[in-house]
Structure 1
């Protein structure tokens, strides 16, 4: 069972996806990730997209910390069901956050979703997903980040850094035991700063 670390729903327990197909982000990694995002002012009022959402724990952590909208995208039916149940748990503590669960493959969702600008995109794909497939999945995000928007990619620390698609560049990385996190921004944002 995972939990919300901090914010309006801090301490709230969330349902986990049954079975071993989904790998939840540990509390320690989540704490470190969101401490960094909070220091950058990334959650409060943010439009958040959680791709490969699993139980929705990352997107819902952002909701607890003040995100205005959170969209959880998960292909697997059992995991999408858990996302919806966890979103219901958060609605009482975060009534001002619009939380939506979409059952879809990530590439399909990004290809057909209405045009939105996201401030924070959380990407925690299955570890077996090849880097080339991950990079091609991220292509549409370069033009869909709001000003100062950040894409966070969580992978195994044993995985080589992907060749990021044109339009996105890594500006920071951090290691947490078996987990590596890369932080990306749109190249036009990098040029403007």
Structure 2
């Protein structure tokens, strides 16, 4: 994976092969950050990265100046890798090893951007639980966004707070806002 912009632009980060992940493609990540760049000042926001995997999205936010990043994943190997990478590059990333749904049920930490990249094979009910818990616990700050990455074959437009979606290859980002 490669960091697209910011302090660590063009830096390649090689994740261990044994991690149970599907990193966001560079094309999809670049498109997502082009959208976010028009909505936020990266150095003035906080981010919650759910199902963080390799930390790909967290690193991109850190490279662009975000100082408050929390990465949540249940896999010990993923958390260990994110911690090692964050330490190596002095990135302000806090990790939490937890099942994301258990974390969301107890979370009180608000963020400007909540990014979730759950497994693409999730059921509709599992996908629906993410915005449900985010909105139920008021985890988005004012004018904040929940972004869920999923397969283009999954339709999340009926879920609470859905605003719009963008497709990049086989990936889709659905954007949600608190109303």
TM-score by length of 2: 0.91
Which runs of 5 or more structure 2 residues have no equivalent in the other structure? none
* Structure 1 residues 42 and 110: alpha-carbon distance in aligned structure 2, compared to 1, 3 A threshold: farther
Per-residue CA deviations over 1:9-60 (Å, capped at 9, x if unaligned) read 1122223242373101111110000011001125232110000000011012
Residue in 1 aligned with 2:142? 147
Q: How far, CA to CA, are the matches of 1:82 and 1:130 in structure 2?
A: 28
| Aligned-partner SS, 1:3 | coil
Q: How far, CA to CA, are the matches of 1:83 and 1:184 in structure 2?
A: 26
CA contact (8 A) 2:163 2:175 kept: yes
Q: How far, CA to CA, are the matches of 2:3 and 2:163 in structure 1?
A: 27
Question: 1:162, CA displacement in angstroms?
Answer: 5.8
**Bigger Cα displacement from structure 2, 4-13 vs 148-157:** 4-13
Structural RMSD (CA): 1.6
User: Does 2:116 correspond to 1:117?
Assistant: no
Residue in 1 aligned with 2:65? 66
Residue in 2 aligned with 1:100? 94
Q: How far, CA to CA, are the matches of 2:36 and 2:75 in structure 1?
A: 28
| Aligned-partner SS, 1:13 | coil
TM-score by length of 1: 0.85
Q: How far, CA to CA, are the matches of 2:88 and 2:82 in structure 1?
A: 10
Residue in 2 aligned with 1:34? 33
Which runs of 5 or more structure 1 residues have no equivalent in the other structure? 188-193
Residue in 2 aligned with 1:126? 119
CA contact (8 A) 1:60 1:90 kept: no
Residue in 2 aligned with 1:82? 81
CA contact (8 A) 1:17 1:54 kept: no
